[in-house]
Structure 1
Amino acid sequence: MKTSIERLSVAAKDRGLTIAVAESLTSGLLASEVGKGDSAGDWFAGGVVAYGMSVKEQVLEVPSGVDPCSAECATALARGVRALLRSDLAVATTGVGGPESEDGHAPGTVYLGWATATTSGAEKLQLDGDPEAVVESTVDEALRLLVTLAEGDG
């Protein structure tokens, strides 16, 4: 069985897609994984690590005052990085890794945002484990979403 990154590489190459990522919670780990894909230089536009709210707002045009752990933020991050890097599709990660709650959000509360030429949105995940496990699971789930988009109508 092919891994997510192998499937992503094939779909991106076969469909002529360019892909971008925006990361808060995962701090560049998603981009690192995507960059391992076969011929990634041909289809991976790049990524933006937007950990601080000022970066989210100034670089990726997340509206001021948006909760960083929200569907609205995740969607805005994906739209922003897609526009900035002129890619066909983008996925974004944001949330609370833990071990403590933040701003009323439990540890492991994660949002994945996506944006294509025709649609955008977000999905909420509630992940278990210590901060490292939450981040690793978030990367796995973001790769799953990228594959779904790349193989589908992305």
Structure 2
Amino acid sequence: MNDAIARLSDLARDDSLTIAVAESLTSGLLASRIGQGEGAAEWFCGALVAYRTEVKVDVLGVPEGTDPCSADCARQLARGVRSLLHADIAVSTTGVGGPDAEDGHPPGTVFVGWADTTGAGAELLQLDGDPDDVLRGTVEHALQRLVRLAEHAR
């Protein structure tokens, strides 16, 4: 277990926080890592892999026609999963893993979204490397975002 998972576990347990994730780009990799956290059954509500546009729209409330590789999409994915799973904080991952560009977005263009009781936001990442590097970098960044959200929830 890495430092971010250990810290997230401690914060969630100490402050009775619940956490959820929505994943497009990372297809469950983030949830798998979070599930390794100590006592995760107590604080990790779960995850939704929303790879297809229809799932993003119908289940998580992303407005039809929203670019799946955008801050707007990332924010709504996080809002939607937070609401759906009744969590205190949530993050989302969406973007282009590569190796090829998609819809005019170069490989490594990633958005990590987040939502908590105060609102929602998203951050653009430009990650280098092959698709595995992009996925690993996205997961690590999303974990760090969750830690910051949990720290601010104190």
- TM normalised by structure 1 equals 0.97
Question: Residue in 2 aligned with 1:4?
Answer: 4
Secondary structure of the 2:93 match is strand
Aligned: 1:42 with 2:76: no
Question: Residue in 1 aligned with 2:71?
Answer: 71
Question: Residue in 1 aligned with 2:93?
Answer: 93
Write out per-residue CA displacement over residues 28-80 of structure 1, whole angstroms, 9 at most, x where no aligned residue.
Answer: 00000000000000000000000000010111111100000000000000000
Give the unaligned 5+ runs of structure 2.
none
Write out per-residue CA displacement over residues 66-120 of structure 1, whole angstroms, 9 at most, x where no aligned residue.
Answer: 0000000000000000000000000000000001110010100000000001120
Aligned length: 153
Deviation above 6 Å: which 4+ runs of structure 1?
none
- Structure 2 Cα separation of the partners of residues 17 and 63 of structure 1: 28
Identity of aligned residues (%): 62
Shift of 1:153: 2.8
Secondary structure of the 1:20 match is strand
Question: Residue in 1 aligned with 2:106?
Answer: 106
- Structure 1 Cα separation of the partners of residues 62 and 36 of structure 2: 28
CA RMSD of aligned residues (A): 0.9
